[in-house]
Homo-oligomer: A and B are copies of this chain.
Amino acid sequence: MPRDIFILTENELRNAVRLDVKAVDVVEEAFAALGTGKVVMPPILSMAIPEANGEVDVKTAYIPGFDGFAIKVSPGFFDNPKLGLPSLNGLMILFSAKTGLVEALLLDNGYLTDVRTAAAGAVAARHLAPQAVETAGVMGTGVQARLQIEAAHLVRPFKRVLVWGRNAEKAAACAKDIAASLGIEARAEKDPARLVAESQLVVTTTPAEEPILKADWLHPGLHITAMGSDQEGKNEIDPRALVAVDLYVADRASQCEKLGELRSAIAAGVWKGGTPAELGGILQGQPGRANEDQVTICDLTGTGAQDTAIATFALAEAKVAGAGSVIES
Protein backbone atom coordinates (compact mmCIF):
# COMPACT_ATOMS: atom_id res chain seq x y z
CA MET A 1 0.00 0.00 0.00
CA PRO A 2 1.98 3.03 -1.23
CA ARG A 3 2.11 6.03 1.05
CA ASP A 4 3.75 9.42 1.07
CA ILE A 5 7.16 9.72 2.68
CA PHE A 6 8.84 13.04 3.37
CA ILE A 7 12.49 13.27 2.29
CA LEU A 8 14.99 15.82 3.56
CA THR A 9 18.51 16.14 2.22
CA GLU A 10 21.60 17.15 4.16
CA ASN A 11 21.47 20.70 2.81
CA GLU A 12 17.80 21.06 3.70
CA LEU A 13 18.52 19.76 7.19
CA ARG A 14 21.50 22.09 7.61
CA ASN A 15 19.18 24.98 6.80
CA ALA A 16 16.40 23.75 9.07
CA VAL A 17 18.44 22.84 12.15
CA ARG A 18 21.33 24.82 13.56
CA LEU A 19 23.38 24.35 16.67
CA ASP A 20 21.55 26.98 18.71
CA VAL A 21 19.68 27.27 21.99
CA LYS A 22 16.57 25.78 20.38
CA ALA A 23 18.50 22.63 19.46
CA VAL A 24 19.98 22.47 22.97
CA ASP A 25 16.49 22.76 24.47
CA VAL A 26 15.23 19.96 22.21
CA VAL A 27 18.01 17.66 23.36
CA GLU A 28 17.47 18.72 26.98
CA GLU A 29 13.86 17.63 26.58
CA ALA A 30 15.10 14.18 25.51
CA PHE A 31 17.26 13.88 28.63
CA ALA A 32 14.44 15.11 30.83
CA ALA A 33 12.25 12.38 29.35
CA LEU A 34 14.97 9.80 30.01
CA GLY A 35 14.95 10.99 33.59
CA THR A 36 11.29 10.04 34.01
CA GLY A 37 12.11 6.39 33.38
CA LYS A 38 9.33 6.16 30.80
CA VAL A 39 11.44 6.22 27.64
CA VAL A 40 11.87 2.88 25.85
CA MET A 41 15.48 2.72 24.69
CA PRO A 42 16.91 -0.64 23.67
CA PRO A 43 20.62 -1.41 23.67
CA ILE A 44 22.55 -0.13 20.65
CA LEU A 45 22.82 -2.51 17.69
CA SER A 46 26.47 -2.54 16.68
CA MET A 47 28.17 -4.38 13.83
CA ALA A 48 31.86 -4.35 12.96
CA ILE A 49 33.15 -4.85 9.41
CA PRO A 50 36.84 -5.40 10.09
CA GLU A 51 37.76 -5.87 6.40
CA ALA A 52 36.84 -2.22 5.78
CA ASN A 53 37.91 -0.85 9.18
CA GLY A 54 34.25 -0.04 9.58
CA GLU A 55 31.43 -0.33 12.06
CA VAL A 56 27.77 0.57 12.07
CA ASP A 57 25.63 1.52 15.05
CA VAL A 58 21.85 1.70 15.18
CA LYS A 59 20.12 3.67 17.91
CA THR A 60 16.50 4.33 18.67
CA ALA A 61 14.19 5.36 21.48
CA TYR A 62 10.50 5.84 22.01
CA ILE A 63 9.69 8.94 24.04
CA PRO A 64 6.09 9.00 25.32
CA GLY A 65 4.30 12.09 24.04
CA PHE A 66 6.36 12.25 20.84
CA ASP A 67 4.41 11.51 17.64
CA GLY A 68 7.31 9.58 16.16
CA PHE A 69 10.44 7.67 16.95
CA ALA A 70 13.71 7.78 15.02
CA ILE A 71 15.89 4.91 13.95
CA LYS A 72 19.36 6.34 13.47
CA VAL A 73 21.99 4.44 11.49
CA SER A 74 25.58 5.64 11.98
CA PRO A 75 28.27 3.99 9.91
CA GLY A 76 31.86 4.83 10.77
CA PHE A 77 34.37 3.70 8.16
CA PHE A 78 37.75 4.93 9.25
CA ASP A 79 39.65 4.36 6.01
CA ASN A 80 37.26 6.70 4.16
CA PRO A 81 39.53 9.76 4.44
CA LYS A 82 42.03 7.92 2.20
CA LEU A 83 39.25 7.91 -0.42
CA GLY A 84 38.45 11.58 0.17
CA LEU A 85 35.28 10.67 2.06
CA PRO A 86 34.26 11.48 5.62
CA SER A 87 34.49 8.61 8.12
CA LEU A 88 31.07 9.23 9.63
CA ASN A 89 27.85 9.15 7.62
CA GLY A 90 24.37 7.77 7.96
CA LEU A 91 20.76 8.79 8.12
CA MET A 92 17.75 8.93 10.39
CA ILE A 93 14.34 7.49 9.67
CA LEU A 94 11.35 8.88 11.48
CA PHE A 95 8.44 6.49 12.06
CA SER A 96 4.96 7.19 13.37
CA ALA A 97 4.77 6.01 16.97
CA LYS A 98 1.07 5.26 16.39
CA THR A 99 1.30 3.09 13.24
CA GLY A 100 4.95 2.31 12.61
CA LEU A 101 4.69 3.83 9.13
CA VAL A 102 7.74 5.62 7.73
CA GLU A 103 7.07 9.35 8.04
CA ALA A 104 10.35 10.85 6.87
CA LEU A 105 13.82 10.01 5.64
CA LEU A 106 16.42 12.42 6.99
CA LEU A 107 19.41 11.98 4.68
CA ASP A 108 21.73 13.95 6.92
CA ASN A 109 25.03 12.12 6.38
CA GLY A 110 25.57 12.40 10.13
CA TYR A 111 24.81 16.14 10.44
CA LEU A 112 21.96 15.71 12.94
CA THR A 113 24.15 13.38 14.99
CA ASP A 114 26.81 16.08 15.10
CA VAL A 115 24.23 18.60 16.32
CA ARG A 116 22.53 16.41 18.91
CA THR A 117 25.92 15.26 20.25
CA ALA A 118 27.19 18.81 20.68
CA ALA A 119 23.83 19.87 22.12
CA ALA A 120 24.13 17.13 24.77
CA GLY A 121 27.45 18.68 25.77
CA ALA A 122 25.66 21.99 26.22
CA VAL A 123 22.97 20.36 28.35
CA ALA A 124 25.69 18.83 30.54
CA ALA A 125 27.49 22.21 30.83
CA ARG A 126 24.24 24.03 31.56
CA HIS A 127 23.43 21.79 34.51
CA LEU A 128 26.83 20.71 35.80
CA ALA A 129 29.48 23.32 34.98
CA PRO A 130 30.23 26.13 37.43
CA GLN A 131 28.18 29.24 36.72
CA ALA A 132 31.35 31.22 36.08
CA VAL A 133 33.37 29.80 33.23
CA GLU A 134 36.09 32.17 32.03
CA THR A 135 38.09 29.62 30.07
CA ALA A 136 36.95 26.47 28.31
CA GLY A 137 39.38 23.80 27.19
CA VAL A 138 38.86 21.24 24.50
CA MET A 139 40.91 18.12 23.92
CA GLY A 140 40.73 16.89 20.34
CA THR A 141 40.69 18.87 17.12
CA GLY A 142 37.93 17.34 14.99
CA VAL A 143 34.38 18.36 14.12
CA GLN A 144 33.10 17.71 17.64
CA ALA A 145 35.90 19.79 19.19
CA ARG A 146 34.57 22.80 17.29
CA LEU A 147 30.88 21.99 17.83
CA GLN A 148 31.17 21.13 21.52
CA ILE A 149 32.80 24.50 22.21
CA GLU A 150 30.22 26.29 20.08
CA ALA A 151 27.40 24.55 21.97
CA ALA A 152 28.91 25.08 25.42
CA HIS A 153 29.35 28.77 24.64
CA LEU A 154 25.56 29.04 24.24
CA VAL A 155 25.11 28.20 27.94
CA ARG A 156 28.39 29.45 29.45
CA PRO A 157 29.60 32.48 27.48
CA PHE A 158 33.32 32.01 28.29
CA LYS A 159 35.90 34.50 27.05
CA ARG A 160 38.74 32.19 26.15
CA VAL A 161 39.29 28.74 24.64
CA LEU A 162 42.32 26.46 24.84
CA VAL A 163 42.71 23.62 22.35
CA TRP A 164 44.93 20.59 22.80
CA GLY A 165 45.57 17.88 20.23
CA ARG A 166 48.28 15.35 19.46
CA ASN A 167 48.88 17.22 16.21
CA ALA A 168 49.93 20.83 16.85
CA GLU A 169 48.93 22.04 13.39
CA LYS A 170 45.44 20.64 13.73
CA ALA A 171 45.14 22.18 17.20
CA ALA A 172 46.11 25.58 15.78
CA ALA A 173 43.61 25.23 12.93
CA CYS A 174 40.87 24.24 15.36
CA ALA A 175 41.64 27.20 17.64
CA LYS A 176 41.57 29.52 14.63
CA ASP A 177 38.16 28.19 13.55
CA ILE A 178 36.75 28.58 17.06
CA ALA A 179 38.09 32.13 17.38
CA ALA A 180 36.47 33.01 14.06
CA SER A 181 33.11 31.40 14.77
CA LEU A 182 32.71 32.69 18.34
CA GLY A 183 34.67 35.93 18.04
CA ILE A 184 36.65 35.22 21.19
CA GLU A 185 40.25 34.44 22.07
CA ALA A 186 41.20 30.86 21.24
CA ARG A 187 44.66 29.33 21.08
CA ALA A 188 46.34 25.96 20.94
CA GLU A 189 47.89 24.79 24.21
CA LYS A 190 50.65 22.19 24.00
CA ASP A 191 50.49 21.13 27.63
CA PRO A 192 47.23 19.30 28.44
CA ALA A 193 47.86 19.68 32.20
CA ARG A 194 48.01 23.43 31.77
CA LEU A 195 44.88 23.42 29.61
CA VAL A 196 42.98 21.69 32.42
CA ALA A 197 44.55 23.92 35.11
CA GLU A 198 43.41 27.09 33.37
CA SER A 199 39.91 25.88 32.44
CA GLN A 200 36.68 25.69 34.42
CA LEU A 201 35.08 23.58 31.69
CA VAL A 202 36.91 20.91 29.69
CA VAL A 203 35.40 18.84 26.90
CA THR A 204 37.22 15.74 25.66
CA THR A 205 36.38 14.79 22.08
CA THR A 206 39.01 12.24 21.06
CA PRO A 207 38.94 8.55 20.10
CA ALA A 208 41.72 7.94 22.68
CA GLU A 209 42.24 4.41 23.93
CA GLU A 210 44.51 5.51 26.80
CA PRO A 211 43.60 8.34 29.20
CA ILE A 212 44.55 11.82 27.99
CA LEU A 213 43.25 13.59 31.11
CA LYS A 214 44.90 12.61 34.41
CA ALA A 215 43.20 12.49 37.81
CA ASP A 216 46.07 14.59 39.25
CA TRP A 217 44.98 17.51 37.09
CA LEU A 218 41.55 17.88 38.69
CA HIS A 219 41.06 21.15 40.55
CA PRO A 220 38.21 22.85 42.41
CA GLY A 221 35.58 24.43 40.21
CA LEU A 222 36.14 22.15 37.20
CA HIS A 223 33.57 20.41 35.05
CA ILE A 224 34.60 17.82 32.46
CA THR A 225 32.38 16.51 29.69
CA ALA A 226 33.84 13.38 28.10
CA MET A 227 32.14 12.61 24.81
CA GLY A 228 34.80 10.69 22.90
CA SER A 229 34.24 7.22 24.30
CA ASP A 230 31.33 5.45 22.65
CA GLN A 231 32.89 2.03 22.18
CA GLU A 232 34.47 -0.67 24.28
CA GLY A 233 38.08 0.13 23.47
CA LYS A 234 37.96 3.87 24.12
CA ASN A 235 39.06 5.75 27.23
CA GLU A 236 39.83 9.47 27.58
CA ILE A 237 39.67 10.04 31.34
CA ASP A 238 41.96 8.51 33.96
CA PRO A 239 39.70 5.98 35.72
CA ARG A 240 40.78 7.36 39.12
CA ALA A 241 39.26 10.72 38.16
CA LEU A 242 35.77 9.21 38.13
CA VAL A 243 35.97 8.45 41.84
CA ALA A 244 38.03 11.53 42.76
CA VAL A 245 35.36 13.99 41.62
CA ASP A 246 32.36 15.10 43.68
CA LEU A 247 29.90 13.90 41.09
CA TYR A 248 30.10 11.58 38.11
CA VAL A 249 27.04 11.66 35.80
CA ALA A 250 26.27 9.25 32.94
CA ASP A 251 24.05 10.10 29.98
CA ARG A 252 22.68 6.58 30.36
CA ALA A 253 24.19 4.38 33.07
CA SER A 254 23.60 1.12 31.19
CA GLN A 255 25.43 2.49 28.13
CA CYS A 256 28.29 4.12 30.02
CA GLU A 257 28.95 0.84 31.83
CA LYS A 258 29.56 -0.79 28.47
CA LEU A 259 30.91 1.99 26.24
CA GLY A 260 31.84 5.06 28.25
CA GLU A 261 34.50 6.24 30.69
CA LEU A 262 32.63 4.29 33.36
CA ARG A 263 33.53 1.05 31.57
CA SER A 264 37.23 1.77 32.01
CA ALA A 265 36.78 2.71 35.67
CA ILE A 266 34.87 -0.52 36.29
CA ALA A 267 37.49 -2.53 34.37
CA ALA A 268 40.27 -0.87 36.39
CA GLY A 269 38.49 -1.92 39.57
CA VAL A 270 38.32 1.63 40.92
CA TRP A 271 34.59 2.22 40.45
CA LYS A 272 32.71 1.03 43.53
CA GLY A 273 29.81 3.45 43.25
CA GLY A 274 27.21 1.09 41.78
CA THR A 275 24.75 2.65 39.36
CA PRO A 276 25.76 6.28 38.82
CA ALA A 277 23.59 9.38 38.51
CA GLU A 278 22.19 10.11 35.06
CA LEU A 279 21.90 13.47 33.32
CA GLY A 280 18.14 12.96 33.02
CA GLY A 281 17.91 12.37 36.76
CA ILE A 282 19.68 15.68 37.42
CA LEU A 283 17.17 17.40 35.12
CA GLN A 284 14.38 15.81 37.18
CA GLY A 285 15.75 17.32 40.37
CA GLN A 286 18.29 14.84 41.67
CA PRO A 287 21.30 16.53 43.32
CA GLY A 288 23.74 18.04 40.84
CA ARG A 289 26.62 20.41 41.43
CA ALA A 290 26.26 21.76 44.98
CA ASN A 291 28.55 24.79 44.70
CA GLU A 292 31.07 26.53 42.45
CA ASP A 293 34.01 24.60 43.89
CA GLN A 294 32.86 21.06 43.23
CA VAL A 295 34.43 18.90 40.52
CA THR A 296 32.09 17.11 38.14
CA ILE A 297 32.31 14.76 35.16
CA CYS A 298 29.61 14.00 32.60
CA ASP A 299 30.11 10.90 30.44
CA LEU A 300 28.31 11.07 27.10
CA THR A 301 27.97 7.94 24.97
CA GLY A 302 25.08 9.22 22.85
CA THR A 303 21.47 8.11 23.26
CA GLY A 304 18.69 7.12 20.91
CA ALA A 305 16.45 9.55 22.81
CA GLN A 306 18.55 12.44 21.46
CA ASP A 307 18.06 11.04 17.95
CA THR A 308 14.30 10.81 18.29
CA ALA A 309 14.18 14.35 19.67
CA ILE A 310 16.38 15.96 17.02
CA ALA A 311 14.73 14.08 14.15
CA THR A 312 11.26 15.14 15.32
CA PHE A 313 12.45 18.73 15.65
CA ALA A 314 14.16 18.67 12.24
CA LEU A 315 11.07 17.44 10.46
CA ALA A 316 8.88 20.08 12.12
CA GLU A 317 11.34 22.88 11.32
CA ALA A 318 11.72 21.74 7.72
CA LYS A 319 7.96 21.63 7.24
CA VAL A 320 7.61 25.15 8.62
CA ALA A 321 10.29 26.27 6.16
CA GLY A 322 8.55 24.49 3.29
CA ALA A 323 11.67 22.39 2.67
CA GLY A 324 11.82 18.79 1.52
CA SER A 325 10.18 16.62 -1.07
CA VAL A 326 7.66 13.84 -0.99
CA ILE A 327 7.97 10.39 -2.50
CA GLU A 328 5.22 7.85 -2.80
CA SER A 329 6.64 4.65 -1.41
Please give the residue numbers on chain A whose beta carbons come within 8 Å of chain B beta carbons, in ascending order.
1-3, 5, 7, 9-11, 40-49, 51-52, 54, 56, 58, 60-62, 64, 69, 71, 73, 75-77, 80, 83, 85-86, 89-91, 93, 95, 97-102, 105, 107, 109, 325, 327-329
When the two chains form their complex, are residues B80 and A56 in contact, meaning their CB atoms are under 8 A apart? no
A78 to B257, CA, bound (A): 35
When the two chains form their complex, are residues A80 and B99 in contact, meaning their CB atoms are under 8 A apart? yes
Chain B CB within 10 Å, residue with most, of A48, A76, A101, A328: A101
Nearest chain-B residue to A84 (Cβ)?
B1
CB contacts (< 8 Å) of A90 on chain B: these are 100, 102
A57 to B45, CA, bound (A): 11
Known contacts A45-B42, A73-B93, A109-B1, A52 near B328 by CB under 8 Å: no
Nearest chain-B residue to A100 (Cβ)?
B75
A250 to B162, CA, bound (A): 57
Pick the contact of A76: B61, B75, B85, B100 (CB < 8 A): B100
A74 to B41, CA, bound (A): 16
Nearest chain-B residue to A74 (Cβ)?
B100
A42 to B43, CA, bound (A): 12
When the two chains form their complex, are residues A64 and B45 in contact, meaning their CB atoms are under 8 A apart? no
A52 to B66, CA, bound (A): 12
CB contacts (< 8 Å) of A105 on chain B: these are 105
CB contacts (< 8 Å) of A85 on chain B: these are 1, 99, 101
A73 to B329, CA, bound (A): 15
A40 to B41, CA, bound (A): 24
When the two chains form their complex, are residues B56 and A58 in contact, meaning their CB atoms are under 8 A apart? no
Nearest chain-B residue to A78 (Cβ)?
B100
A107 CB, nearest partner CB in chain B, Å: 4
A to B CB contacts below 8 Å, 18 in the list: A1-B85, A1-B109, A2-B109, A3-B109, A54-B99, A56-B95, A75-B95, A75-B100, A77-B98, A80-B100, A83-B99, A85-B99, A89-B99, A89-B100, A105-B105, A107-B327, A109-B329, A325-B327
A151 CB, nearest partner CB in chain B, Å: 22
A87 CB, nearest partner CB in chain B, Å: 8
Known contacts A107-B329, A109-B329, A89 near B60 by CB under 8 Å: no
Q: A49-B69, A56-B60, A85-B99 given. 16 additional CB < 8 A pairs?
A: A1-B85, A1-B86, A5-B107, A10-B329, A41-B47, A43-B45, A44-B45, A51-B97, A52-B98, A54-B97, A56-B95, A58-B58, A75-B95, A75-B101, A90-B102, A91-B93
Known contacts A11-B2, A56-B95, A77-B98, A64 near B86 by CB under 8 Å: no
